[in-house]
Structure 1
Amino acid sequence: MLENFPFYLGILLVILLLIMLANKIKVAYPILLVLAGLIISFIPGIPVINIEPDLIFFIFLPPLLYEAAWTVSWKEMWRWRRIITSFAFVVVFVSALSVALVANYIIPGFSLALGFVLGGIVSPPDAVSAGAILKFVKVPKTISSILEGESLLNDASSLIIFRFAMIAVATEQFIFHKAAASFSWMIVGGVSIGLLIGWIFMKAHKYLPTDVNVDSVLTLLTPYIIYLAAEEVHCSGVLAVVSAGLLLSNNRHRFLSSRSRIRGVNVWESFCFILNGFVFMLIGLDLPQITKGLEEVNISIPTAVGYGVMITIVLIVSRILSSYGAVIVTLIARNFIKVADSKNPGYKVPFILGWTGMRGVVSLAAALSIPVYLNNGNGFPQRNLILFITFIVILLTLLIQGLTLPYFIKKILTDNDDDTLSRNEVYNNIRQELAEFATHYLKTNYGDQVESNPPLQHLILKWEQHSNGIDDESIGEDLKVIYLDLLNQQRHWLINKNREDQSLDESIIRRQMHYLDIEEEKLRYL
């Protein structure tokens, strides 16, 4: 490991350069990283990368899921709960079933159980890939909310299918009542353990004498502890992490200080940025090992590629058809129950939802977790072919759907498909109402202190200006440029002041520099 350390540092540098390039040319960075890993893997002398499944499941997956749960809106998830659960469970199952039937019928030696193993692996779309693509285009809030909610649950449903299929392959039988009991325990137990441990961490943040650094480290430990605890009792670690993440995210203002929240966002963005970059690069780097496994079982590369293309087509078609089916069911259900949106979305929204089916991290981890040998000592049937097909599916969905999704969104969807044009107006109205509430509260509760307290007078004046629309949040783009220039000049002044006055405590300068950083950060949200 140590002798390859310079290689991993070089890979990290390549990842950073490629992500900067992807942002420049407006292409989702997972696409470039997978292709780059594929190219690098064929360079002579490059160390062979053997990806352990635990590396993905226990190091990469928990924090990525936890961070996603922190950023998603519980309110939006609940609003779109029916369509989200249908995509996360029903659509995933339909995709897995379609793959299982086609693989069993067309690929020689593929039993139905093996087909479900493959289907469980490749059925969940990758949230990271979709998120990286959607940030370059204007997408209606409805679609982004559904995709965010689905991404938190589809990993769990696909891994449950995968586990049951693995049991069927190993035992050559499927006992329904045992499977139903195990399925129920994985879901109920996973959610319960996640909520329990999440509640314990929430109380630890609130009542223990923590500071900003301790809070940040605790949030990093939380997903790993929850995932391991759930897996130890054979529950769904994915559902446990997601449940805890939603609980803590929805209560973050009750147990974390404002400074811990600001620091936590920075820590988690950087941490997940590195994790995502490495995992997609590793997908490409692992191809030589996968193709070597095909040669050992005498399966030609063109034949295996053909199987991979076929499974990819099945996945794309089944997800699109399932998307239309889910919308049709919703339109029928609105006649009997209240649904979030009673409008007919037409062909546009179902197609976009169906086309956002790029595969990635979870599919790779599940495929790699297939054991080389069964408990009876025999080799796991078709393991190398399953690995190769999984790689082809990841590569093709990233390239085909990932590169064309922005085009379809721009051509098919219009600004009138959502209320995005009025969101700024709603935001400004909320700001004004909040400012009026603040002014009224200060005058009512601290009115007797106004005359003798000039800072309080200034605070009331500030919020009165807010309520009249005169504040730093109503500045135009030209004034933002001027303010940024002022902030930079203030930094230079502080640096020179610190250099010239040797008796000045530098921590005071750094504190003021931090304040200027916060001021500049505010401009991003104005």
Structure 2
Amino acid sequence: MDTVAAIQLLALPAGAVALAAVARRRGWPAPLLLVVAGLLVSFVPGVPVYALDPEIVLLVFLPPLLYSAALDSSYQRLRDVKRAIGLLSVGLVLFTTAVVGLVAHLLVPSLPLAAAFALGAIVAPPDAVAAVAVARRLGLPRRVITVLVGESLFNDATALTAYRVAIAAATGHGITLLGGVGEFLYAAAGGLVIGLAVAWAVSQVLARVRDALVENTIMLMIPFGSYLAAEVVHASGVISVVVVGLYVGNRMHRTGFGTRLLSDAVWRVTDFFLETVVFALIGLQLHAIVMGVLDDEDPWTLAGYALAVFGAAVLARVVWVLPGTFLPWALSRRVRARESRPPWAEATIISWAGMRGVVSLAAAFAIPEDFPGRNLLLFLTFAVVIGTLLLQGLSFPALIRRLRVSTEREAYADNLAEAGAQQAAARAGLERLEEVAQREGLAELYPDILDQLRGKSERRTLNAWERLGGGTGPEGEETPGAVYRRLRREMLSAEREVFVRLRDARRIDDEVLRRVMQELDFEEAILERP
């Protein structure tokens, strides 16, 4: 690779990270800014064409992003909303495939019905990357986030299976409806079995390693290995990765504290980098796609096609989600006995959270070169992806404010539950302390140490209760816990200055500085509880 090619290759991630940094500092939605920037840059003369390789997206970007989202998800919360996730990740995907396919076929009669259904399958699933990035940023209620994340974790399996069936039918490989259902069931079951097998094997390995660096290196390889293992036997790599991520995430408490701290940092950096590059790549595809389709179609006709398909994709979700949310509760006595009436606001938010992303584009680019209407399908896919990202992404915050959706009650309940748990845990810790001190006769030998440990346990419990007031008392004054954290941070800052000054004076080595800095950083991390 020559120097110019290397610089061009580095320019994409470097520029994307710089834009994302600006967006984070100013509080702007980084995904939308990156997409818009990519759209504009794609028409700048001299900018190289960044062609989206579907194999790279599906093998390099998708597995770690899916795995990270699953690792950070709650299996218990997903199980609580399994009906909603099933209706969205299977029912809605198939419904959208049918609606978009029929609209596209009616608009362009020359487009074979199977090819139109392929388009429907391509644009049917909201993207895991887009859904998770937007949901986390907006601070939506936990149930809404769980539904959206659960949908985005599983819907790719349904969509990609429907896509393969439609492509096979359009290219004359002759597949029946029953055969398509069988392929879907095989892909789902195979992905589940392989995911469980990989999860069990990984848990056995991690239980024997006990080295934070090695454990996290293994976890970086898990999503790729799990995805490839399933795809080799034509099962669902998506489901395989999600199952492993949920399994490992549910058992992270069994790993060491170093593994958990390092894992959180590793996956936050990985998510940030991959999501940043992915959204920039989406925008950069515009020039190549538009140039490829303008030779065959009139621009105004293309705009009409794009608006119709985009509208069908958006409306199909609204038409499916609202009845799907309220009809089960209205028609089933068992559902009413278990659940309260679904809030209109949450249903409306879910119905508008249909941002498509890079997986749809990757599937479109994977269409065979000789496929009927390939350029048109690419253009329509791009129109739906960009339209949903910009229209729904930009209007989402305003919709949430208009609906007055708040997480304050949820946050208060969390803090209250944590305070009660901290008190129970502190009581258990103090009982163990007294038991060991009495058994080993430490009370008279080390009374100061025991007092320090008792005080630390008491402060932790008080901090949890004080968090209910946001760190202030009834008159707005600082609570003792808030004062303690503020003063201790000042002390840590002064201590760091001394260590750096001694290192600069060559009185301590850099290795010593790194070691003590890490200890101080760990203590400050505890003080900076979110």
TM above 0.5: yes
SS at match of 1:381: coil
Number of aligned positions between the proteins: 515
Please name the residue that 1:362 is paired with.
359
SS at match of 1:222: helix
Please name the residue that 1:461 is paired with.
455
* Amino acid of the structure 2 residue aligned with 1:158: A
Please name the residue that 2:201 is paired with.
200
Deviations 1:322-368 (A, max 9, x none): 111111233135413477632242x3221110111111121111111
Instruction: Give the alignment of 1:377-388 within 5 angstroms.
Output: 379-388=370-379
Structure 1, unpaired ranges of 5+: 373-378
* Amino acid of the structure 1 residue aligned with 2:456: K
**Separation in structure 1 between the aligned mates of residue 11 and residue 154 of structure 2, nearest angstrom:** 35
Structure 2, unpaired ranges of 5+: 472-479
SS at match of 2:280: helix
Shift of 1:258: 1.2
SS at match of 2:138: coil
Please name the residue that 2:20 is paired with.
19
CA RMSD of aligned residues (A): 2.3
Answering whether residue 390 of structure 2 is matched by residue 390 of structure 1, we say no
**Separation in structure 2 between the aligned mates of residue 237 and residue 156 of structure 1, nearest angstrom:** 8
Runs of 4+ displaced beyond 6 Å: 470-474
**Residue among 493, 497, 501 paired with 1:492:** 497
**Residue among 304, 319, 322 paired with 1:321:** 319
Shift of 1:127: 3.2
Please name the residue that 1:242 is paired with.
242
Assess, with a 3 A threshold, how the Cα gap between structure 1 residues 339 and 303 changes in structure 2: closer, same or farther: farther
Preserved contact between residue 112 and residue 372 of structure 2 (Cα < 8 Å): no
Preserved contact between residue 191 and residue 236 of structure 2 (Cα < 8 Å): yes
Assess, with a 3 A threshold, how the Cα gap between structure 1 residues 409 and 472 changes in structure 2: closer, same or farther: closer
* Amino acid of the structure 1 residue aligned with 2:393: G
Answering whether residue 341 of structure 2 is matched by residue 350 of structure 1, we say no
**Separation in structure 2 between the aligned mates of residue 524 and residue 124 of structure 1, nearest angstrom:** 38
Preserved contact between residue 308 and residue 392 of structure 1 (Cα < 8 Å): yes
Answering whether residue 268 of structure 2 is matched by residue 269 of structure 1, we say yes
Assess, with a 3 A threshold, how the Cα gap between structure 1 residues 468 and 394 changes in structure 2: closer, same or farther: closer
Answering whether residue 109 of structure 2 is matched by residue 118 of structure 1, we say no
Deviations 1:86-109 (A, max 9, x none): 111111211111101111111232
SS at match of 1:110: coil
Task: Give me the identity figure in percent.
Answer: 32
**Separation in structure 2 between the aligned mates of residue 476 and residue 289 of structure 1, nearest angstrom:** 58
Assess, with a 3 A threshold, how the Cα gap between structure 1 residues 176 and 335 changes in structure 2: closer, same or farther: same
**Separation in structure 1 between the aligned mates of residue 434 and residue 32 of structure 2, nearest angstrom:** 56
Instruction: Give the alignment of 1:29-108 within 5 angstroms.
Output: 29-108=30-109
Deviations 1:425-455 (A, max 9, x none): 2222222222122212322354323413443
Preserved contact between residue 294 and residue 301 of structure 1 (Cα < 8 Å): no
Assess, with a 3 A threshold, how the Cα gap between structure 1 residues 81 and 447 changes in structure 2: closer, same or farther: farther
Please name the residue that 1:517 is paired with.
521
Shift of 1:516: 1.8
Assess, with a 3 A threshold, how the Cα gap between structure 1 residues 122 and 251 changes in structure 2: closer, same or farther: same
* Amino acid of the structure 2 residue aligned with 1:462: K
Provide the TM-score with structure 1 as the length reference: 0.92
Shift of 1:515: 1.7
Deviations 1:195-253 (A, max 9, x none): 10121112111124x52222121111111111111101000000010011111111122
**Separation in structure 2 between the aligned mates of residue 364 and residue 179 of structure 1, nearest angstrom:** 23
* Amino acid of the structure 2 residue aligned with 1:6: I
**Separation in structure 2 between the aligned mates of residue 417 and residue 165 of structure 1, nearest angstrom:** 46
Preserved contact between residue 28 and residue 129 of structure 1 (Cα < 8 Å): no
Preserved contact between residue 92 and residue 158 of structure 1 (Cα < 8 Å): yes
Provide the TM-score with structure 2 as the length reference: 0.91
SS at match of 2:333: coil
Deviations 1:359-404 (A, max 9, x none): 11211111111121xxxxxx21111111111111111111110001
